[in-house]
Structure 1
């Protein structure tokens, strides 16, 4: 059997067959959640599965939208079970082809296409942690990802323009983003970014306000957007 369709038991290294009929569809909320829960015992904690090693040929669609504010909506209703959102977030996958970006919930047997208005992850907490006498800025997403500010995970300010404001450039917003995993970016929430301005140092340079943050023994600076 192809190993891409197996999970690996971290305790003994044995391959465990994913308990799903390959001919069945997982683009149903209940079917997908039951499938993920049935395989969760093969992973420790919130470990992200090896999505890059899975190459399912079957693709389906689900009426699931990750809103620009980080909320998950299914069939027109907001998902309120955070545990289920956290579970689905572990299999988020991004693909780009010919300038088109698509997002999926990816399993060994099927990719379920979903819609993302902006980016799929939202950072809602930041703190300072010390490791070997070195201080790091550590960020946490609403779905449990933890990432530190470093050269591979910098903060960038980019324009976001809602679809319903496509013709009105004045409605575009400058938002702070940060890469997290597997090409997935996270929006840094408004309150969290405000906290960053308190943690960091604000200075004026050539009429622009600069925010400088310290993490891992390095400095990271960015030009703040005009208010």
Structure 2
């Protein structure tokens, strides 16, 4: 690890010593320090100065201080520094999917590439979209601080296997059904019926 990454790591450890779990980055508002030569690829690799970060502990640590701001850019934030980074797609990946219960009572839990888990529901809603100029689906779940995790192909197929047809409750129109999944009492659309 180079000096810049080590400095950030030390700041994070010092700032989070009194907290369990994620650091309180919503309380940190330093001035922009600049652009960091850090890119998160569509495949989820964190690439620093042209080289993949191979230590998972560093990636996990950096993911805890990542946020997306209203300008649409992603930043690594500590109490005293704020670095803009480049993200090709969603910065995190959801690769594991577990289901408990069934029908409207089912709860879907996703495991992220950082080792964290999120329960799909009101706090972590699932969104279905498509890549620009493509029919390729882009399923993502909100994680925290504007950060999303994109479901990997395998996780998306597992999710699609859970799809059921439900009336469009927002439109109160029983004829306008759609395919989707239930999780934690919330219905998430995967596709409109034709």
Show CA shifts across 1:46-104 (max 9, x none). x111111111125222110011111111111111111110000000011123xxx2111
Find the counterpart in structure 2 of residue 219 from structure 1: 187
User: In structure 2, the residue corresponding to 1:41 is in which secondary structure?
Assistant: coil
Once the 2 structures are TM-superposed, how far is the Cα of residue 129 of structure 1 from its aligned partner?
3.6
150, 161, 172: which one pairs with 1:198?
Answer: 161
Alignment CA distance shift 1:152-1:59 (3 Å): same
User: In structure 2, the residue corresponding to 1:70 is in which secondary structure?
Assistant: coil
Q: Normalization by structure 2: what TM-score?
A: 0.80
55, 72, 89: which one pairs with 1:118?
Answer: 89
Matched, 1:174 2:150: no
Alignment CA distance shift 1:158-1:217 (3 Å): closer
Alignment CA distance shift 1:56-1:198 (3 Å): same
**Pairing 1:53-202 to 2, within 5 Å after superposition:** 53-97=27-71, 101-129=72-100, 134-161=105-132, 169=133, 173-201=136-164
Contact 2:74 / 2:85 at 8 angstroms: preserved in 1?
A: yes
Alignment CA distance shift 1:135-1:108 (3 Å): same
Contact 2:66 / 2:75 at 8 angstroms: preserved in 1?
A: yes
33, 57, 64: which one pairs with 2:9?
Answer: 33
Contact 2:53 / 2:59 at 8 angstroms: preserved in 1?
A: yes
- Distance in 2 of aligned mates of 1:96 and 1:214: 29
User: In structure 2, the residue corresponding to 1:191 is in which secondary structure?
Assistant: helix
Contact 1:28 / 1:62 at 8 angstroms: preserved in 2?
A: no
Deviates more, 1:214-223 or 1:139-148: 214-223
Q: Normalization by structure 1: what TM-score?
A: 0.69
Alignment coverage as a number of residue pairs:
180
Find the counterpart in structure 2 of residue 9 from structure 1: none
Task: Please list every run of 5 or more consecutive structure 1 residues that lacks an aligned counterpart in the other structure.
Answer: 1-25, 162-168, 204-208
User: In structure 2, the residue corresponding to 1:139 is in which secondary structure?
Assistant: strand
Alignment CA distance shift 1:77-1:117 (3 Å): same
Task: Please list every run of 5 or more consecutive structure 2 residues that lacks an aligned counterpart in the other structure.
Answer: 167-176
Structure ranking higher on relative contact order (CA contacts 8 Å, 6+ apart): 2
- Distance in 2 of aligned mates of 1:64 and 1:79: 10
Alignment CA distance shift 1:160-1:218 (3 Å): closer
